[in-house]
Amino acid sequence: MDVGFLGLGRMGRPMALNLVKAGHRVRVWNRSPAAAEALRAHGAEPVATPADAFRGDAAVTMLADAAALRAVIVEGGLLDQAEKPGLHVGTSTISVALAEELAAVHGRAGVPYVSAPVFGRPDVAEMGKLNILAAGPDDAISRAQPLLDAMGARTWRFGEEPARANAVKLAGNMMIVAAVEAMGEAAALGEAHGVPAADLLDLLTSTIFAAPVYKNYGASIAAARYEPPGFGLALGAKDVRLALAAAEAARVPMPLASVLRDSLLDALAHGDGEKDLAALAIVSARRAGR
């Protein structure tokens, strides 16, 4: 397929490279041109403007946040240009409200829109093993499937309304933060009674909580290894805020998410926003006087 890829950050770069490896023609654009130019040696075609990337059989976006996505796609007028892509696959983690807005503006422009946020950190993206949550017109998802297959291990479909995929993504990220908060509190309790965090978390993540999220973040907490970030704490805070906004709009109480927001704000207030999400455990330790 002839694909445009916009956004070459820590997640976008390996995703774009996997499309190239799968044999697709990939035009790449990034706000920092050097990031796009660096992929030329790997077979991608750097382009100078978003408009040059937003055309062809499909365009894929993995832009940094909602503001960047709106600025480039909507305010940048890409949906008004004469040459538009056959479909747009949006993989950024954004609010449910923005996903609904994007679906509407794409509908008016005649460009099928598929929300396809992903679960997985940069190392998982490099392996092409992301779990991709897809929602949008069924035929558009089917047309995008070769691209999704190149970037992920499995595509999970959630119906024809794009915002559904974003609701699932925010719910999942809230649960990830909850897991980290729980391990941080458990580690603080163990340490207060003379049990090293590494011993407690090794037991828990090898038995009753033997899942990737617990194992990966538990290992980081046990080793107090918070840099470089795999998933930044500030991003976790942003996603919990988005989950709470979606919950308020639908009148869904989420008391646990409110607790998580306050713990994340504590971490941000103490300058830990650029650390890995596992650094949320520092808040529990600080509260316990450790």
Q: For domain 2-160, say whether CATH 3.40.190.10 is its number.
A: no
Q: Cite the residue boundaries of each domain of the chain with CATH code 1.10.1040.10.
A: 166-288
Show the DSSP H helices in the chain as ranges: 12-21, 33-37, 50-53, 66-69, 96-109, 122-126, 138-151, 163-192, 197-206, 212-222, 233-249, 255-269, 280-287
Catalytic residue among 21, 84, 129, 169: 169
3-60 pLDDT, tens digit per residue, is 999 999 999 999 999 999 999 999 999 999 999 999 999 999 999 999 999 999 999 9
Three-state secondary structure call for residue 196: coil
Q: Is residue 37 within 8 Å of 46, Cβ to Cβ?
A: yes
Q: How far apart are CA 252 and CA 235, in angstroms?
A: 22
Q: Is residue 144 within 8 Å of 87, Cβ to Cβ?
A: yes
pTM of the complete model: 0.95
CATH topology of domain 166-288: N-(1-d-carboxylethyl)-l-norvaline Dehydrogenase; domain 2 (1.10.1040)
Q: Cite the residue boundaries of each domain of the chain with CATH code 3.40.50.720.
A: 2-160
170-225 pLDDT, tens digit per residue, is 999 999 999 999 999 999 999 999 999 999 999 999 999 999 999 999 999 999 99
Task: Based on the residue annotation, tell me whether 215 is a catalytic residue of this protein.
Answer: no
> Does residue 64 carry a pLDDT above 90?
no
| % the chain with pLDDT above 70 | 100
> Does residue 290 carry a pLDDT above 90?
no
> Does residue 65 carry a pLDDT above 90?
no
